[in-house]
Chain A
Amino acid sequence: MRAPLDAKVWLEGMAGCGKTTVGLSRVIGLLERGAPADSILIFVPQRSMALPYIAALRGRQAYRGGQVWLQTIGSLSLRMVEMFWFLVAAEAGFKRPRELPNFLSLELVQYFMTRAIEPLVDERDYFASVRIDRPRLYSQIVDNMNKAALVGFPISEIGSRLKAALANGVEQAHIYDDAQTCAMAFREYCLARNLLDFSLQLEVFRDYVWATPQARAYLRGRCKHLIVDGVEEDNPASHLFLSDLLETCESALIIYDRDAGFRRFLGADPASARRLRDSCELKATLDETLVMGAQVTALGAQLAAQLGASVAGEGDVDPRPALIAEAQRYHPEMVDWVARQVDMLVNERDASPNDIVILAPFLSDALRFGLADGLARLGIPVRSHRPSRALRDEPAARTLLTLARLAHPRWALPPTDFDVVFALMTAIKDLDLVRAKLLTEMLYRQGRLLPFSEVRSTAMQARVTFDLGERYDRLASWLNRYLEDERSDAIDIFFRRLFGGLLSRAGFGFYADVDASNTAQNLVDSARGFRWSLDFMRRYEADIDLGLDYVNMVDRGVIANFYLRDWIADAEEGVLIAPAYTFLLNNRPVDYQFWLNIGSEGWSRRLYQPLTHPYVLSRGWTAGRMWTDDDEQHLSRETLGRLLLALTRRCRKAVYLGYSELSESGYEGRGLLLETIQALLRRYARAGQHV
């Protein structure tokens, strides 16, 4: 805290020692000393890590002037490539350097990847032996390309690196060769059409934009004071950029968490981060926890030690009072138990819901819903962090997509009866399942909705009610009019017309409904982004039916598969339900943690990703070495050890363990976390017997 504000400082330590607090006070100190806010750059690996900074800056009443810059390597490279595009496009190999670049969102990368390589994959029977679906396959090719850019090797080396370390047979070698061919084909496709996926955006920034005097003058002129938090979670591309910036900035604070580096998947590289230490004239360490109680400290240290890590801390303290567990037979019983424990903490021990988190390695919809519902019934507010939202699974989006199919018979994609029932229920306020089914059975014929007057039986009409029948009629005639007028609006315009013209009016399902309207807006945004990119593509390729292509891609799970915006608007108060790593990257300690599904392998095991590998494609990997089963086991133990340390260092009072003998899917789980905890408890039980 006392380090001079004009020095370059390296600050390291474990989580929970107040490193971010130091960062915050440095930003405030700089502002108070009169440094212009827009000369301060806060650089983080992921936006969520900057939340404490945003909150602190927004809360400062006395601050006037420009705005502090907050960037990730993704946001910065996008901004810079867009700004200096015309200086570098030709040199970077784009075939149409006088035309605008087209930056691709994740969903559009998936789409264009499919377009670019699917013919190749089909024709040459690539990946025939790999049993995962195509979207996931393609996302691993994208992932390989991102890693090459983040780590700093050419994409042409992806296949050879993977083969050298992982291929134990001809079949496996072929798979990596195919992955390489696809990456090159996609890159060619992008260069020919001015498309930039993340990997290309980063390469263009690193190799071309950053070399121009204009870009250097711009960034160096602006970034006088650098605050980097979570540098160990960032990647070598960021580190290279930061080391360059460190040469010219007037002051810096680089914050490094010794036991972290969780984002391996995104090229997080603590060893590469550590090299920035040499560019700082002052080095400081913070190792005294401001967060954990002694028993939680001991719990983290002893669990990690059990997994082979050497961690200093509270070896002689019995951690069991900080570890609360109760085994259940079935998963729903565990969910109930968790809700009751949270209720007890809030209502009997005065814990704030904001200081409780419920964590699992993955969160299924069912688990999330079960917890949220259980807590809501007890009157406890909940917030949930799941940025990857399947837009197509949202009722409002499904309804719009079904109605789009009804209005576009030329697509030859008539919706199923089930989809029509669902769409009617969502679109018409107060229409229940029974009546929606009746209407569908009586009036959905050959892909069209017939008018309500086609119901001949007055008893049936009365059963549906005339009021609902009248609203059904308005919907059916809106669609039929659209169809008869032979309109061919762009699909996003169609959604907007239908939304504004009918669904958002009184008596219909989207009227004054914040969630449904926001979902509709997200769908419109997604479809419009798609149209804009494809409009642009029409210069290069034959005509395509945008609407049909969009709906097809949604069906295949290629687009509208995730959407971020709601993440930002998520509730700010309540018990947080989140995947464990998401919580870690939010950079905020709590009083109580619940670890659920502790029998799950997911706590320690990597996702199954046959086409990529976070370690083999990292900077520290030794060329020529083979990745072995021992490596995999060692990695599991190390990953879990780090994770448990990181979690306990963000926990003040106690950890509750949610365990059911049978998992959500009905299997008995015996994962490494369960094993480790049992071993710890057995050790204490034995020691107790000897006393």
Chain B
Amino acid sequence: MSLSADFAFTQGSLQDYADCARRFELRFIKRLRYPALETQEPLQFEKRTRQGVRFHKLVQQHLHGVPAEALTASLADDGELAGWWATYLARGLTGLPAARYPEITLQTQLAGRRLVAKYDLLALAPGGAAVIVDWKTGARAPSKAYLSGRMQTVVYRYVLAQAGAHLYAGESIPPERIQMDYVFVAAGGARLSLNYSAAQMGEDEALLSGMIAAIERADAFALTDDVRRCRFCSYRSLCDRGAPGQLEEFDLDEYENEDEEEALSLDFDQIAEIEF
């Protein structure tokens, strides 16, 4: 079995491959959904992920013109989220270029495949800076070196350089103008900025096309040797890799579920087919 013809790579799927080839295979080639618990404290885990989702929605609403006061008034039930929100309002948008595109998806082609990036926010000044903003709601801000190596950083910068021209007055965005900002709203709004360059872009392209080619070629997908990566993986029982990990060791910012969208909107479409 191999990838379906129209499979699109994302930072999430590539990070899965980087972490564990077997996980990539199970999730994207075998399309096996495995509902085992990720952590030993499932409700706590769920609460944190839902808070993160709600925070992203708040920002999106705000950037589409819903007044901040109306949004603030909706947070009476969640002091923690209200704190992140206040941080965002105070510092989240400081210094960003004026043309802002929240929740935007760009795609490009690489090694015969689509490569897709879904951004929290792009802020651009044609001819000037092109800033990618990614909101993080985890309690700790990791190191710059760690973030530089994440597939999110690699994919987001590369795709913007390749596919952002229509947002930049029709000109390709020079890599040197691109900057990726991780903003940690639960850590007082700490901002970690990563610049870009043509040389880095060349390296990233080689890395990404190498990964895609390796995936296309592979006929076996090995289990990771680093069992720490299994702690929060839902396939543990399949791979016989122990019990779920503790939530306090888990970096929630690494957890992104890219395929849970639109379930509701599809839902109504099915009525027609049930009732005919």
Chain A residues with a Cβ under 8 A of chain B: 34, 36, 38, 46-48, 54-55, 58-59, 61-67, 72, 74-75, 78-79, 82-87, 98-100, 103, 105-106, 143, 146, 198, 213-214, 217-218, 262-263, 265-266, 361, 385, 387-388, 490, 493, 495-497, 499-501, 504-506, 511-512, 514, 517-518, 520-521, 524-525, 562, 564-565, 567-569, 572, 579-582, 585, 607
Contacts and interface: CB of A to CB of B under 8 A. Distances in A.
A78 B167 CA distance: 26
Nearest to A54: B6
A58 B114 contact: yes
B270 A564 contact: yes
Contact of A582 (B36, B107, B276): B276
B240 interface: yes
Contact of B65 (A218, A506, A565): A218
A562 B274 contact: yes
B42 A493 contact: yes
Given A75-B265, A79-B265, 15 more contacts: A61-B109, A65-B106, A66-B107, A74-B269, A83-B61, A84-B66, A198-B268, A262-B276, A265-B272, A266-B271, A388-B273, A496-B37, A565-B263, A581-B273, A585-B272
A512 B166 CA distance: 45
A496 B70 contact: no
Contacts of A500: 34-37, 234, 236-237, 244
A521 B66 CA distance: 35
Interface in B40-91: 42-43, 54, 57, 60-61, 64-66, 70-71, 73-74, 76-77
Interface centre among A86, A198, A490, A582, by most chain B C-beta atoms within 10 angstroms, is A86
B32 A514 contact: yes
Nearest to A103: B264
Given A61-B109, A499-B36, A500-B36, A47 B266 contact: yes
Contact of B270 (A143, A387, A497): A387
Nearest to B57: A82
A152 B52 CA distance: 37
A106 B268 contact: yes
A546 to B, nearest CB: 13
A490 B267 CA distance: 24
Contacts of B77: 99
Contacts of A514: 30-32
Given A64-B162, A74-B265, A388-B274, A506 B240 contact: yes
A520 B36 CA distance: 10
Contacts of B106: 64-67
B36 A496 contact: yes
Given A103-B264, A105-B264, A511-B238, A65 B166 contact: yes
A350 to B, nearest CB: 23
Contacts of A518: 32-33
Given A214-B66, A217-B65, A500-B237, A579 B32 contact: no
A521 B34 contact: yes
B272 A64 contact: no
Contacts of A262: 276
A78 B33 contact: no
Contacts of A85: 61
Given A496-B37, A504-B36, A524-B35, A388 B270 contact: yes
Contacts of B42: 493, 496
B43 A64 contact: no
A117 B87 CA distance: 44
Given A46-B269, A387-B273, A581-B273, A99 B74 contact: yes
A72 B163 contact: no
B37 to A, nearest CB: 5
Contacts of B266: 47, 75, 564, 568
Interface string B124-165: 000000000000000000000000000000000000001101
Given A61-B112, A72-B265, A388-B273, A495 B104 contact: no
Interface of B: 4-6, 8, 30-37, 42-43, 54, 57, 60-61, 64-66, 70-71, 73-74, 76-77, 104-109, 112, 114, 116, 162-163, 165-167, 170, 234, 236-238, 240, 244, 262-276
A493 B107 CA distance: 36
Interface centre among A83, A99, A500, by most chain B C-beta atoms within 10 angstroms, is A500
A98 B74 contact: yes
A32 B115 CA distance: 19
B229 to A, nearest CB: 17
Contacts of A79: 265
Nearest to A58: B6
Nearest to B267: A105
A65 B165 contact: yes
B172 to A, nearest CB: 10
Contacts of A98: 73-74, 76
Nearest to B113: A61
A524 B33 CA distance: 11
Contacts of A520: 35
Interface centre among A75, A78, A493, by most chain B C-beta atoms within 10 angstroms, is A75
A686 B61 CA distance: 71
A74 B268 contact: yes
Contacts of A266: 271-272
8 A-B pairs with the lowest CB-CB distances in the bound complex, closest first: A500-B36, A75-B265, A214-B65, A74-B268, A58-B6, A581-B276, A521-B33, A36-B166
Interface centre among B57, B70, B77, B165, by most chain A C-beta atoms within 10 angstroms, is B70
Interface centre among A62, A66, A490, A506, by most chain B C-beta atoms within 10 angstroms, is A66
Contacts of B274: 387-388, 562
7 contacts: A65-B106, A74-B268, A75-B266, A106-B268, A143-B275, A214-B65, A387-B273
A189 B74 CA distance: 21
A371 to B, nearest CB: 18
A65 B275 contact: no
B125 to A, nearest CB: 18
A534 B271 CA distance: 23
Contact of A504 (B8, B34, B74, B114): B34
Contacts of B107: 63-67
A363 to B, nearest CB: 11
Nearest to B73: A98
B42 to A, nearest CB: 5
B268 A504 contact: no
B35 A87 contact: no
A514 B238 CA distance: 12
A38 B104 contact: yes
Contacts of B105: 38, 66-67
A500 B38 CA distance: 9
Contacts of B5: 58-59
A585 B236 CA distance: 41
Contacts of A505: 237, 240
B66 A569 contact: no
Nearest to A218: B64
A30 B11 CA distance: 28
Contacts of B30: 514
A36 B123 CA distance: 17
A87 B66 contact: yes
A354 to B, nearest CB: 14
A501 B263 CA distance: 28
Contact of B61 (A72, A86, A572, A582): A86
A493 B35 contact: no
Contacts of A86: 61, 66, 70-71, 73-74
A564 B70 CA distance: 35
Contact of A493 (B43, B234, B236): B43
A198 B6 CA distance: 31
A96 to B, nearest CB: 10
A38 B77 CA distance: 36
B230 to A, nearest CB: 12
B61 A84 contact: yes
Given A36-B166, A87-B70, A265-B276, A78 B264 contact: yes
B238 A512 contact: yes
A607 B37 contact: no
